[in-house]
């Protein structure tokens, strides 16, 4: 399924106001993992209050021990500091990579902004090297913008 076909499905999920935001985010994770062949782990990390750390939110894929990530550590921690997208074609070439699984080859992390503040991010791992491109970035920015539009936290 191509990203333009996924956009209305993401909106359908996010517009289910009778469900909690966490339930909707989990459903978005599940949709993306099921429909995008190179998305092997899909999850969200959110800033932990005023602390300079991220806590794991809804995700689908292999269990992870990385439920708390300090700012600056790993790809997710770097995005929390830089406020910029981070596409990693080969995780083994990164000095500051936190290994979640030996099968992960590439990663993409897109920050989630609410009212100009980086409150979290979507994190996707792939078991394929150099799996992510500009279309992934654009699509995931769309997903995060739509989540931000519904954020009440």
Domain range for 74? 3-149
Q: What integer pLDDT is reported at residue 45 of this predicted model?
A: 98
Q: What integer pLDDT is reported at residue 96 of this predicted model?
A: 62
Q: What integer pLDDT is reported at residue 102 of this predicted model?
A: 77
Average pLDDT over residues 32-51: 97
CATH of the domain at 82: 3.30.450.40
Instruction: Give 71's DSSP letter.
Output: T
pLDDT (tens digit per residue) in 76-109: 999 999 999 999 999 888 766 666 667 899 999 9
Lowest mean pLDDT among 34-48, 91-105, 106-120, 132-146: 91-105
Average pLDDT over residues 52-59: 98
60 has pLDDT over 90: yes
Q: What integer pLDDT is reported at residue 57 of this predicted model?
A: 98
Query: What is the model's pTM?
Result: 0.94
Q: Residue 101's beta-bridge partner residues? A: none
What total number of domains does the chain contain?
1
- Report the alpha-carbon distance of residue 62 to residue 43 in Å, rounded: 11
27-34 — which CB contacts under 8 Å span 24+ positions?
A: 28/143, 28/147, 29/58, 29/59, 29/60, 30/60, 31/6, 32/6, 32/124, 32/143, 33/60, 33/61
Average pLDDT over residues 25-30: 98
- Report the alpha-carbon distance of residue 126 to residue 89 in Å, rounded: 10
- Report the alpha-carbon distance of residue 32 to residue 122 in Å, rounded: 11
Q: Please state, for a pLDDT cut of 70, what percent of the chain lies above it.
A: 94
Query: Which among 76, 15, 21, 17 is positioned nearest to 45, based on CA atoms?
Result: 76
């Amino acid at each position: 399924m191509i990203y333009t076909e996924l956009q209305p499905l993401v909106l359908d999920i996010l517009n289910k106001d009778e469900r909690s935001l966490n339930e909707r985010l989990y459903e978005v994770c599940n949709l993306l993992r099921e429909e995008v062949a190179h998305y092997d782990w899909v999850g969200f990390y959110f800033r932990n209050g005023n602390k300079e750390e991220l806590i794991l939110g809804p995700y689908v894929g292999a269990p992870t021990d990385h439920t708390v990530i300090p700012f600056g550590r790993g790809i997710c921690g770097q995005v929390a500091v830089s406020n910029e997208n981070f596409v990693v074609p080969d995780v083994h070439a990164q000095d500051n990579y936190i290994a979640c699984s030996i099968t992960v080859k590439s990663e993409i992390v897109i920050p989630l902004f609410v009212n100009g503040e980086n409150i979290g991010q979507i994190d996707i791992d792939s078991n394929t090297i150099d799996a992510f491109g500009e279309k992934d970035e654009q699509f995931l920015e769309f997903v995060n913008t739509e989540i931000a539009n519904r954020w009440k936290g």
